[in-house]
Structure 1
Amino acid sequence: MSYQFVPFARLRQQPTIVVDSTANGAALVLAHWRGAPTPAALRDDTSAGSVLRALHQPGTPGLQAPAVTANHFDVDGFVGVWSLLHPALALRHEALLRLTARLGDFREADGPAALADHALQLVCWLNAEEKGRFYPPFGAPRLRRREDEACVEKFEWFLPRFADLLQNPERGRAAWEPEYERVQRAMTVMRSSATRLTRYPEIGLVVVRTPEPLPYYALFGPTTGADIVLSIYDGQRYELEYKYTTWVDLESRPTLPRLPLNGLAAELNAREAAPQRWTFDGITDTGPLLRLAGHTLRKEERYADPDQRPIFASSIPENELEQAVVQFFRRGYAALQPRRYWTWAEIRAASQPGSVG
């Protein structure tokens, strides 16, 4: 079967497979978005993973559609679209592509060292070329363009070039090396005695104590299996973040639902003597942050690495802050049990008094 990439706006002009998105009228949806109508047999942690599963099941209804599209550009979605266009090569490199998609979406690369290193090079190449030639993730509104329209140019540039980098990453070294080296330095810090991790598996929380803010690919690297990260930096600087793992439907493991952070923010603001206030993002944001804010961050700033945004000093001692976070989630999750495939309605209801998991 030979596929053609088409802009999202043209998906109804012919039978079309939709990747890492969802849309009425799609011949087949291959997406890990919460509630997406991906066939049960093809569900996977990443959308690219669902595509790769589909390639192993060529009789899947809808897979014979001649076109493929997505409504945005990111690593996972791109890898999924590219894999449909190059099925033989994709299946030959399936393990690498799965790691690349996971690193792109969840900032985790839990796999063999050589493959994880190759995946990091690919992701850094995609990131560098995307920012240098086009616009950063979530940056389309600043160009006064819709993402589903603006991203077409990215797909058209990357699709014919990715196979070359997949098979020989050295050809893209000039682009990927700066970010790759920055992440490697940060990974060294994460592995050193300067960093300490405390895990609270019953609430899905990892507390990372490390001297300075780091790139996500290093910071989240050792947090596989957790869904909330509290970063504690020197000078009483803190950020709490829900990982993207609880925005999507994970297939590999159950999760707890996100809890609204307004109550925790109010508790911290009551203790806070710094001039900034604790602010929080809504639970339907892709990666909600709780942090001391000097100004409201744009979506692209929140998506960018922690070392690329200001993180202010709090007056709250770090052990007190950690305990406040832990107790908030322990209270909120006391009557809930982890499970798969929460709906957004169920997630909202879970935070209400009397909710039962």
Structure 2
Amino acid sequence: MSATATRISRRSRPHPSSPERKTRVPRTPASLRPARERAFWPFLLPALVLYTALYIVPALFGVWVSLYRWSGPGAEMTWRGAKNYTNLLQNEAFQSSFWNTLVLALGGGGAVFGATFLAMMALRQLKGRAFIRSVVFLPMIISAIAIGAAIGFLLNPDGAVNDILKAFGMDGLPWLGSDLVFRCIIAGLVWSSTGFYIALMMSAVDAIPPHLYEDAHLSGATKWEQFRHITLPLTWDVFSVAAVLWVVNSLKVFEIVLAFTTGGTPGNPPVEARTVAVQQYISISGGNAVPELGEGAAMGVVVVLITVVLIVLIRRITRRDRVELS
């Protein structure tokens, strides 16, 4: 059998002069492959140099500054080691801003994606959904400073909201007081940001074949069951990316807090309304004392570490087997 097999294999080989032999594509010589593989470096190198100069080097410089006491260019740098980080643990303003930032990232994120999921269920079959998506996305293109200032004017003690409450015989509420100010900031941020995530998730919903929902409807599935077993699994990858985007954006909230609490007037936001980004700005700008760039840099390093931890947790929590349509 081996002789027969060998014979057959020899007969199956094309003759050197046959058309099949002539049309065979020649392989690239091994000596040319490394040169072709190195061809991408001239295209990659400029972007890599710019990224390193604009992002990597400043980030490393910030870590280095966080180990010193420094008031800015022209001032002497004094080595402090990890003392800037240990001082943050005793700084009540930083602790308040840190917990505010976590509440904003987690609580605000829950509100944003809760509203997004409800919109995904309601807008999927609604007529005029493209127009509605455009309307809810509109606050996203408005400046955060303008949104913060507008909400601050509405909620001030003599603002329109309290006037409406008084018109119905109710007393005005201290919206800008220590108990409610940060909740109002979260509400304003959720209102201005939800449209972006609705548009992002609805773009994934539009890619789902309609016949899946038709089959589910004929099988007696409710809208909630259709969302749970069809919409959510097939948009899970987009949701994972959207959750990461929310975490990154929520940990650096800055403008809306300043505009909401100060209304464009000089002064620092109250401690109850500050995020880490705002507290960092007050630290490096001096506030009511000498600028502390080392302390501000330490805050930035802490925020980066928290961002990395939250992103890793989100990616692990949202990690699932990819669902593909057969």
Shorter chain as denominator, the TM-score bin is under 0.3
TM normalised by structure 2 equals 0.22
**Larger RCO of the pair (alpha carbons < 8 Å, separation 6+):** 2
Higher strand share: 1
Higher helix share: 2
Which one has the largest radius of gyration?
A: 2
TM normalised by structure 1 equals 0.21
